Amino acid sequence: MKFKIFILILLLSIPCYNFAQRAYEPWYTGPLIASSGSNLDKGLVNIQPYLYFRNTFGEYNKAWGHHSTPSTFTFKAEIDFQAGISRWLDFTFVAQSFYKKKEKKETFAVGDIGAKFGIQLLREKDFTAIPYIRLTIQEVFPTGRYNNLDPNKHVIESTGSGSFETVFNFIVMKTVYWFENHPISFRLNASYTYSTDVTVKNFNTYGGGFGTRGTVSPGDVYAGIFAFEYSLNQKWVLAMDTVYVYAKKTTFRGTPGVDFNGTTASSAQSSSNQTSLAPAIEYNVNANFGVLAGVHFSIRGNNSTKFKSAIISATYTF
């Protein structure tokens, strides 16, 4: 994380003027993961649906090795509604639903919903080192399934955390014009997630078993994302996210219950981390409408899952 911050500061310390004139105003739709450093202007509304096709097929162990697990397919449909409230404030509502399948078992359910405020702290000035700086504060509400899950499907039936999660995200974004015909937009996200305790019974999102009764304390989560978008021309753009996530250990207190083998069940989780990449391509029809498609996959981890995903999105502002 410190290395990524150093790289961004180094980039922004280089003079941001170009050696010729800017050929066009760049249009951007992505990238896939990193949040924007710019609020939506007052009076505007943006709608952005996402479709995720994810296959989880392995686990990284505590020694950084990995092994295969039975494949779990997850389809997630998400929609983000964003509205500009003032010059320095906007609001986003996020809703999602899931379809999951594993070993001929399948389930469909809604997920957790989120409400986010974006606060514009600084606005970019072209051809200078001054970037966009934005702070977002999001509250995630536990509307997804997390408790008293079907013992035969509990791994795929979970679609929520059961916790009220508060997410703080500090964002820096800067577009540079080092090349007349190929502007580059950089983003750096640094986020922190705090989760409230969760009362669990039987099989649950965190594990559990028959007769489990107690309280789970989810670990704090820290994430860093470094992303860029490279304009081939005004309409076509290449994008890349590099994502690092670290989660502190999750603890449990109460009656642990037993699993199918009659051994003591667990609802606790060790600390974990994961690094992933998300390359993508964008097509921008105009300044207000664009589509985005790419892949997202893990490359290393510790006590975390091994996965690969395809992601499709579109965005429209009016």
pLDDT, mean of residues 62-69: 79
Helix (H) / strand (E) element for 252: namely: strand 251-255
Residue 69 lies in domain: 2-317
Structural contact between residues 155 and 102, judged by C-beta atoms closer than 8 angstroms: yes
**Token code pair at residue 166:** 């508060």
Return the pLDDT at 30: 84
Q: Facing residues of 162 across strands?
A: none
Return the pLDDT at 21: 63
pLDDT, mean of residues 140-163: 92
Lowest mean pLDDT among 148-157, 249-258, 301-310: 148-157
Residue-wise over 59-68: b if at least 16 C-beta within 10 A, else e? bbeeeeebee
Structural contact between residues 189 and 221, judged by C-beta atoms closer than 8 angstroms: no
Structural contact between residues 147 and 154, judged by C-beta atoms closer than 8 angstroms: no
What span, in angstroms and rounded, lies between the C-alpha atoms of 252 and 254?
7
Its pTM stands at 0.90
Residue 94 belongs to domain with CATH number: 2.40.160.40
Residue 61 has pLDDT above 90, yes or no: no
Closest to 300 (Cα-Cα) out of 70, 74, 73, 63: 63
Percentage of the chain lying above the pLDDT 70 cut: 93
- Quote the number of domains for the chain: 1
pLDDT, mean of residues 173-201: 95
Cis before 49 (ω within 30): no
What span, in angstroms and rounded, lies between the C-alpha atoms of 40 and 28?
14
Q: Residue 135: which residues within 8 A CB-CB, separation 6 or more?
A: 118, 119, 121, 168, 169, 170, 171
What span, in angstroms and rounded, lies between the C-alpha atoms of 179 and 10?
18
Q: In this structure, which long-range contacts are made by residues 11-17, counting pairs with CB atoms below 8 Å and at least 24 apart in sequence?
A: 11/174, 11/176, 11/186, 12/129, 12/131, 12/174, 12/186, 13/129, 14/176, 14/178, 15/129, 16/126, 16/127, 16/128, 16/129, 16/174, 16/176, 16/177, 16/178, 17/127, 17/177
pLDDT, averaged across the chain: 92
